[in-house]
Amino acid sequence: MSGDPDPAEAIEIDVAEHSPLWRASLPEAESVAIRAARAALAGSGRAPGGAGELALVLGDNALLHALNKAWRGQDKPTNVLSFGSEGGATPAGAPRLLGDVVLAFETIAAEAREQQKPLADHLAHLVVHGVLHLLGFDHEAAAEAARMEAIETEILAGLGVADPYRACEASHG
């Protein structure tokens, strides 16, 4: 009774802990991030076939500030940045490099407090959001944003995380 292999399982997920703040405040941050990334890959409908690699970087505001300034011209930290691998052919037998999702502890922790949600849930949401960007989803236009939010909400529900958009609306309304 073996169905088709899950393409999300063929992706190797590496976690780099750039900031000790994650472990100090959320010892399970690495497992939360990996579980969220796998759920995003599985629930996106766009997981690449075959072997692949994805990096998750548990960083801090200083790292995200530097990256945001260098790559987006924004002189401030942000919660999450996604860096897709630059095109080019993957050598035969080599895994496809999906890219990196980099997360800022201080910004994410402050947003979780402000939105009155568990840090683990907010981390899961932003990992899902970042992975979906790597898979080609975007939120520049209203229709794209609505589609991406719906996919995020469905993936997060499967992880037992409340709809992050409804929570935001309720806390600001």
Judge whether 1 lies within some domain.
no
Judge whether 31 lies within some domain.
yes
CATH number of the domain where residue 104 is located: 3.40.390.30
| Distance of alpha carbon 70 from the chain centroid | 20
Structural domain count of the chain? 1
pLDDT tens-digit series, residues 144-154:
889 999 999 99
Judge whether 91 lies within some domain.
yes
Judge whether 118 lies within some domain.
yes
**Whole-prediction pTM value?**
0.87
Mean pLDDT along residues 118-140: 94
pLDDT tens-digit series, residues 81-98:
999 886 555 556 556 789
Mean pLDDT along residues 17-37: 96
Percent of residues, the chain, with pLDDT higher than 90: 67
| Separation CA 28–CA 81 (nearest Å) | 21
| Separation CA 132–CA 148 (nearest Å) | 8
Judge whether 2 lies within some domain.
no
Residue type, 104: A
For the chain, the average pLDDT equals: 87
Residues spanned by the domain of 73: 7-172
